[in-house]
Chain A
Amino acid sequence: MEKELEELQSNLKKSLNGLTKEADVLNLKSEYLGKKSRISELLSGLKDMSNEDKRKYGSLINNTKKELENIVNEYLENMNNKTSIKFDDTIDFDIELGSLHPITIVAKEVTDVLKRMGFTVVSGVEMESEYYNFEALNVPKDHPARDMQDTYYLDNGMLLRTQTSGDQIHSMEKFGAPLRICSPGRTFRNEDLDASHENTFFQIEGMVIDKGITIENLIFVMREILREIFKRDVEVRLRPGFFPFTEPSYELDCSCLICGGKGCPTCKNSGWIELVPGGMVHPNVLKAGGIDPEVYNGFAFGIGLTRLAMMKYKINDIRVLNSGDLRYLSHFDID
C-alpha cells in the first residue's frame, strides 16, 4: 500500500512534466484525483477495512491525496505565471522626456538646502531702480560698479539689476527683522561674451538678520551650504574681501573640487576656488531697510548659480546656458 501511494505521487510528477496547456493539466488532475481515480477508490475502500487498518491507512491515504493536489496546483501556478511569449519583447525604446534648465536644477538644490536651514525663498525683479541696486546698498555715487561700462542703464531711468543684493532691501522692507531669506535670480552686467563671460547670469542672495549675529555664524552657514551642495566635506577658507554692502566683507573659498587642492588650471594653481562672497551687513544697509543697526545685525552672502551649474555639470562654455540649443540642453534632468 505504502509503495503504491508513493508511486502515485512520482507518476503524477512524471506525467505533468512538460505539459504546457492548462487543459492537459486539468485532465491529468481529474485522472489522479477525480471520482474515478485510484485515490478515490482507495478512500472508499477504507470503510471495508478493520479498525486497526483504518487507523493505519486512513491518514496515509488522505495525506497522499492532499499531496497530489498540491503537486498539481503548484504546477498549474508555475505554468500560468510563465506565459509563452508570442510578441517581440526584445525591442528597445527611447524614453521621451522633457528637461529643466541646469540653472533651475541647481537653484532648486541650493534653495532646498537653505529652506531646510529656515530660509524663506523670495524673488526679485530684473528691471530695478538705481536706489535698490546701488544706493540702498551703500554703493556710493562715484563707485566704479555704477559705471555704464558695468551696468545696463535703461532709457526709462531704471536699470537691469547687476546683483540680487537689492532683494536684501526689498525683504527688509517687506518682512522686517528678524529675517532669514534667500533670493535666486537673474542678473546682468555689461560684459563681452566669451566662453567664460556672460552678460546675463544667475545668483542667489542670502541674508540673516537677528540680534547678536556673529562672524562665526556666517562661517558656519556658508560652510554648511557648500557641504550640502557638494554633498561632501569641503575645506573652506575665509579671507578678507571688499563689498560696499557688507562690513567686514569676506570671500569664502572652497578647496578646488577638480584637483582636490593640489593646483590645476581651474583654480589657477592655487588649490582654492572663490565661491561665496559675503560679510556682515553694513549698518547703512540695515538703515536703508528700516532696521535699527543698534539692535539688530546680520550677515549676507551671494553664490553664483551659473558658476555652480557649470561646475556641477562640467559645462566649459558659459554661452551654452543661454543658447536655447536643445542639442546641449535637452539631456539635463527633470528633478
Chain B
Amino acid sequence: MLLSCNKLKSHIKNSNDIDWLKIWDIFTVRTAEVENVKEVGKQIDNVVVAEIKKCSEHPDSDHMHVLEVDCGEDELIQVVCGAPNVRVGLKTAYVKVGGHIDGEEIKARPLRGVLSNGMCCSGRELGISDNHDGILELPNDFVNGTDLKKIYPIEDIIVEIDNKSLTNRPDLWGHYGIAREIAAITDHELLPLKLETIKNDKQDLDIKIKDANLCYRYCGLKIANITNNKTPMDMQIFLYYVGMRSISLLVDLTNYLMLELGQPMHAFDARVVKSIEVDVAKDGDTYTTLDDVKRNLTKDMLMIKNGDKYFGIAGVMGGLDSEILSDTTEVFLESATFNAGSIRKTAVALGLRTEASARYEKSLDPNLTDVAIKRLTYLLHRENPHMEIASNLTDIYPNKLKEGKIILKKKTVNTYMGKVLPDNDIKNMLEKIAFKVKVNDDNFEVIVPTFRHTKDVFIEQDLIEEIARMYGLENLEAKPLKLDLVAKEKETIFNQEYEAKKLLAIKYNIHEVHSYIWYDTELLKELGIEKKGVKVLGKVDNNILRDDLSLSLMNIVKNNFKNYTNFKIMEIGTIIKNNENKKMLSVIIAGEEKKLESNYNEAKMLVKYLFKVLKNQSVSFTENVNELSYYDQNLGKNIIVNGEKIGEINVLGKSYSNKLAKKKAIVTIDIDFYQYLKLTKVDILAQEVSKYPVVTLDYTVTLNNQKFIDLKNILDKFMSNLILKWELVGIYENKYTVRYTLGSKNKTLEQHDLVKFKERFIEHIKNNNLIIAE
C-alpha cells in the first residue's frame, strides 16, 4: 500500500515537527514493515503559472505553435509548444530556462528554427498525473508567475508498506489509521475528520439485508443537484502519487475515502437505483462486471441487487449499468460492511482481487460506514455548494458491533514483559492508540475500540503485543532461559538419519538427494507403470503420492545418466503406504549393465555394513519374488534382521531400465526406517582371546552349476573343534577360495593336528562331489 506523507500530515497536529523521512524506521519496528520511502517532486523546480498571450502557427511544423507567455515578468517570453490545447488566454504550467523537469535542465533552444525559451508542460511531464493529452490547464484566477509548488502539493514523500504486514490490522488500510499510529508513536495529536451533518428529515431509502451474517451493515444516501464533477488538482495529485487514476469527482471521492479511511464505497447513478437488497447469487447465473467481463456466479457469492437485478458483486466490483455517467447529477452512495471470509472466497473464486475486496478481507469495522458517507458528503459539498441531500442516511445495521472489554492482569503483563512497568505507563501506551484504560489493584480494565475489535484484539496477549510494541521492542533486554539440569526427552530420529546418511556417504561414496513426495507423472507414463496411491486434490499432474521411494527416485536416476555412467544416490524420505506415513531409506546403485553383479554384491555388503556399524546386528538375505512387477522377479532379496524383514534389495526390470537409459542396470535398496529406528544397538561384549597362535589354511573348491549357498551348506556341515571361523576370500570364475582359521585355547597346534584336519576336510569335500585343489 502506498502512502502520501502530505496526506498523513493533514491528519496530525503540528505534523511538521515529525521527520517524515526517518519516522518509517521506527514505524517498521512499532507497527508494520515499510518497504520503500521515496521523495517525489524534488526533481522539478522553476515551474510557474503562465498565461498564453499570443499564439501563432510554427512556420515549419504542422502541429507546433509559437507562443508568447506572461509568466509574471516585465516582458512576454517566446515558447514553442506542440500541445493541441494551446490557445490565447489559457493559463498553464511553464518551466523557466534553467528550471528542471525530472531532474533535466531546461535550456533555451531552437525548435525547427524558432527559439523556445523554456517549455509549457503536461501533467505527465510534471510527474503529477498520467495525462499527456495537452499542457496543464490551470484556473483563471491563478496569478501569473506563481511557483506551482506553492499552489499544489507536488513535493511529497511516498511510502510503501508491505501489505502482508497489515493483514491483521484492518484499521491500517487507510491514511487516517496510519496517521493515528504515527501520532501515537511520536506523541502528537490526531486531528478529527471533518464530517457533513446530515439531518435525516427526508425519506428512508429502500435497502434490505437478507443475511446479517454476510452483510453486517449497509448505509445509503441520495444526493442530488451535483453539477461539478471535476476533481480538484491536489486530490488528483494525491491519487496519482498513491497509484490511482483520476476519473471524475464522484468516482475519485469514493477512492479517496477508501484511501483515507479504508472504507470502500460506491457511487451509483441514482436514476437507475430502485431498491437495494444484499443477497447471495443463484448458482449458474452470470453477471458482467465494470471491467466488461462476464462472471459465473455461485450461491456462495454475495451480490448487491437493484430491484430484482444484479447490481454489483458485494465488496468486489460493481457492474456496467451502475456506472456514473457524464450527465449524472444525482447519486446513490453506498457504504457497507460484509463478511470478510465470504468476500475473500468470492474474490478468489472469480480471480478478481480488487482494492475493495483486499480491504473487506481484513474484517473492516462496521462502525466506519456512516463516518465514510458523512465524510464523502462533506468533501463533495465543498466542490458543489448547491448540492442537495435527497434522502435520509439510511442505515441497516442488524447487530451493532460494540467495543470490547478485556481484563488485563498485571501479573500477565509482568510475566510477558519480564519486568514491572508503572501502571500509568501502561495506561498511557494503550490510550495513545485509542484504548480506554481503568487501573485497578491487580488488573487493568481495557476498552477496545471497535476498529481493533473485528478480529485483532480479544485477549490479554493481544494487549501485551500493543504494550510491548509501544514500549519499544528494541528497549527489551535479551535474557537467557533459566537453566535446569534435567535430562530431557530422548528422541533420536534426526540423529539416526544423519548418522546413517553420513556413514553411507563416507564409506560408500553415496550422494544424498531430495525428491518430491509425489510420483512424476511423465516418468510413470514413460515406464508404463500405473500407481493408485493417495491423490493430491486439485493438482493435475504429479498428483499421486509415492508408495515406493526407489521408484520415485528413478526420475533423478534417469537425469543423472545423461552426465554419469556409474553413480550412487540415497534419500531418507516419506512414502505413503496404506494411508500411513512411512519413512524409507533408499539407496540406488546405478551403472553399466556389466557391473550388475558387483553392484548387486555391493548393495548386500552395504546393508550388512550399515547394520553392523550402527546397530551391531547381523543381516541375512532371503529370496523375494517382488509383488511389484517392475522389479526383476529373480533378483529380489529380503533383508532380514533379527528374524524380521526390514527391507529389500531389488534390480529394476531390464525392460524398465532400458527406458531410462540403454545398457544400464539399477540396483535398489529400500529399508523401512521406522523399523530400523526400533532396533536397539546390541552391546558389544569383550571376547576371550586364545593365548596360542592361530593358523590359516586356504582351500579352493570348484563349483559346477552350484551357487555359493550350496558350498556354504556343505562347509557348515564340516565339524572340527579347531575351527575358529571360515570365510570366502576369493572367487575366480567358478573357483571359490575359502580360508579357515584354526586354533586351540589349550595349546599351540602341531603339524599332526593340521595334517589330520586337512585329510578329513578334503575327504568331506570329495564326499560331497565337489572338486578341491589339493
Asked if residues B416 and A220 are in contact (CB atoms below 8 Å), the reply is no
Asked if residues B515 and A98 are in contact (CB atoms below 8 Å), the reply is no
**Separation of A289 and B589 alpha carbons in the complex (Å):** 44
A123 interface residue, CB < 8 Å from B?
yes
Asked if residues B481 and A220 are in contact (CB atoms below 8 Å), the reply is yes
Asked if residues A127 and B495 are in contact (CB atoms below 8 Å), the reply is no
A304 interface residue, CB < 8 Å from B?
no
**Separation of A232 and B490 alpha carbons in the complex (Å):** 30
Asked if residues B563 and A327 are in contact (CB atoms below 8 Å), the reply is yes
Q: A111 — which chain B residues lie within 8 A by C-beta?
A: 494
Interface of B is mostly: mixed
Asked if residues B574 and A127 are in contact (CB atoms below 8 Å), the reply is yes
B581 interface residue, CB < 8 Å from A?
yes
Known contacts being A188-B517, A240-B469, A247-B461, is A330 close to B511, with CB within 8 Å? yes
Asked if residues A123 and B579 are in contact (CB atoms below 8 Å), the reply is no
| Interface 0/1 of A306-335, CB less than 8 Å to B | 000000000000000111111101100011
Asked if residues A322 and B416 are in contact (CB atoms below 8 Å), the reply is no
Known contacts being A144-B344, A214-B418, is A239 close to B33, with CB within 8 Å? yes
**Separation of A115 and B464 alpha carbons in the complex (Å):** 30
Asked if residues A216 and B31 are in contact (CB atoms below 8 Å), the reply is no
Asked if residues A100 and B29 are in contact (CB atoms below 8 Å), the reply is no
Closest Cβ–Cβ distance, residue B538 to chain A (whole Å): 5
Partner of B536, one of A160, A268, A283, A323: A160
Q: A251 — which chain B residues lie within 8 A by C-beta?
A: 33, 165
Closest Cβ–Cβ distance, residue A187 to chain B (whole Å): 11
Q: A324 — which chain B residues lie within 8 A by C-beta?
A: 513-515, 553, 555-556, 559-560, 569
Closest Cβ–Cβ distance, residue B109 to chain A (whole Å): 37
A238's nearest neighbour on chain B, judged by CB, is B473
Asked if residues B344 and A100 are in contact (CB atoms below 8 Å), the reply is no
**Separation of A119 and B568 alpha carbons in the complex (Å):** 34
**Separation of A219 and B553 alpha carbons in the complex (Å):** 41
Q: A220 — which chain B residues lie within 8 A by C-beta?
A: 478-481
Q: A101 — which chain B residues lie within 8 A by C-beta?
A: 512-514
Q: B35 — which chain A residues lie within 8 A by C-beta?
A: 268, 270
Known contacts being A98-B510, A126-B581, A240-B469, is A214 close to B479, with CB within 8 Å? yes
A279's nearest neighbour on chain B, judged by CB, is B465
**Separation of A99 and B512 alpha carbons in the complex (Å):** 6
Q: CB within 8 Å of A: which of B546-599?
A: 553, 555-556, 559-560, 563-564, 567-569, 574, 576, 579, 581
Residue among A111, A154, A241 with the highest chain B CB neighbour number at 10 A: A154
Interface of A is mostly: mixed
Asked if residues A326 and B564 are in contact (CB atoms below 8 Å), the reply is yes
| Interface 0/1 of A84-115, CB less than 8 Å to B | 00000000000011111101100110010000
B680 interface residue, CB < 8 Å from A?
no
Asked if residues B513 and A155 are in contact (CB atoms below 8 Å), the reply is no
Q: A149 — which chain B residues lie within 8 A by C-beta?
A: 348
Asked if residues A250 and B476 are in contact (CB atoms below 8 Å), the reply is no
Q: CB within 8 Å of B: which of A225-254?
A: 237-242, 247-251
**Separation of A156 and B535 alpha carbons in the complex (Å):** 8
A76 interface residue, CB < 8 Å from B?
no
B302 interface residue, CB < 8 Å from A?
no
Asked if residues A239 and B29 are in contact (CB atoms below 8 Å), the reply is yes
Q: B484 — which chain A residues lie within 8 A by C-beta?
A: 118, 178
Asked if residues A126 and B517 are in contact (CB atoms below 8 Å), the reply is yes
Asked if residues A216 and B29 are in contact (CB atoms below 8 Å), the reply is no
B721 interface residue, CB < 8 Å from A?
no
A124's nearest neighbour on chain B, judged by CB, is B581
Closest Cβ–Cβ distance, residue B578 to chain A (whole Å): 10
Asked if residues A104 and B512 are in contact (CB atoms below 8 Å), the reply is yes
Partner of B505, one of A100, A144, A210: A100
Q: B493 — which chain A residues lie within 8 A by C-beta?
A: 121-123
Asked if residues A240 and B512 are in contact (CB atoms below 8 Å), the reply is no
B409's nearest neighbour on chain A, judged by CB, is A294
Q: B537 — which chain A residues lie within 8 A by C-beta?
A: 148, 152-155
B28 interface residue, CB < 8 Å from A?
yes
Asked if residues B505 and A97 are in contact (CB atoms below 8 Å), the reply is yes
**Separation of A268 and B340 alpha carbons in the complex (Å):** 31
Residue among B481, B483, B498, B538 with the highest chain A CB neighbour number at 10 A: B481
Q: B31 — which chain A residues lie within 8 A by C-beta?
A: 240
**A-B CB proximity, top 5 nearest:** A324-B556, A98-B505, A248-B465, A214-B418, A142-B341
| Cross-chain pairs A/B with CB under 8 angstroms, 23 sampled | A97-B506, A98-B504, A98-B512, A98-B568, A99-B505, A118-B481, A127-B574, A144-B344, A147-B348, A152-B536, A153-B537, A153-B538, A154-B537, A154-B545, A155-B537, A158-B534, A178-B484, A184-B494, A217-B479, A242-B168, A270-B35, A324-B515, A325-B560
Q: A107-B494, A118-B488, A127-B574 are in contact. List 19 more A-B contacts (CB 8 A).
A: A98-B504, A100-B501, A104-B512, A121-B495, A123-B493, A125-B581, A154-B537, A174-B489, A180-B488, A190-B539, A215-B416, A238-B474, A239-B28, A247-B462, A247-B464, A248-B469, A251-B165, A269-B36, A322-B515
Residues of B within 8 A of A (CB): 28-33, 35-36, 165, 167-168, 340-341, 344-345, 348, 361, 415-418, 459, 461-462, 464-465, 468-469, 473-474, 476-484, 488-491, 493-495, 498, 501-502, 504-506, 508-517, 534-539, 545, 553, 555-556, 559-560, 563-564, 567-569, 574, 576, 579, 581
